Structure 1
Amino acid sequence: MNWPLLIKQTRERLGETQEQFAKRFAVTTNTVSRWETGTYQVSLDAVDWLLQYAESREVKCCPRCGGKGIVLEESQEADKAVEGDKP
């Protein structure tokens, strides 16, 4: 899974700035930026919380993302991210 893309697109679909998102997660804005660029790896616990939060805000989900409340942009980059998860 392309976690940086997932985090950025989820934040954007929630309509939150990096600053708002950082406050929600109790991290710095720099940390959110680093998650979105892949400089820092987000914990699976944080991803789980993010998915639950997005779902509670009724962010639409797609089957390609496991129905977890996230819609990845339809792009070659998103396709590569999904393909990269295959063993």
Structure 2
Amino acid sequence: MANLSVRGLQTETLDALKTQAGREGKSLNAMVVQLLQNAVGGKPKPCPHTDLDALAGTWSSQDAADFTHATAAFRAIDADLWDSA
């Protein structure tokens, strides 16, 4: 990826870019890259998902019950391990 420095940018323009980036939950850099790509007809590079949002809401009640049962042992506290004496 290439880097670009922008000189002579008016303060009002920078403020507007920051506001738009904040509204869209993006960094200033990501906002500028998107705007430049859109201006020249380029396609933005898809951002790979690194979170688990695709799984949200996909479990059935049975899946949740199975998970709770399978992980029950992790909620148990071994008192001997926490004995400070």
What is the TM-score of this pair, normalised by structure 2? Answer: 0.27
What is the TM-score of this pair, normalised by structure 1? Answer: 0.26
Relative contact order, CA 8 A, sep 6+: which one is greater? Answer: 1
Q: Which has the larger radius of gyration?
A: 2
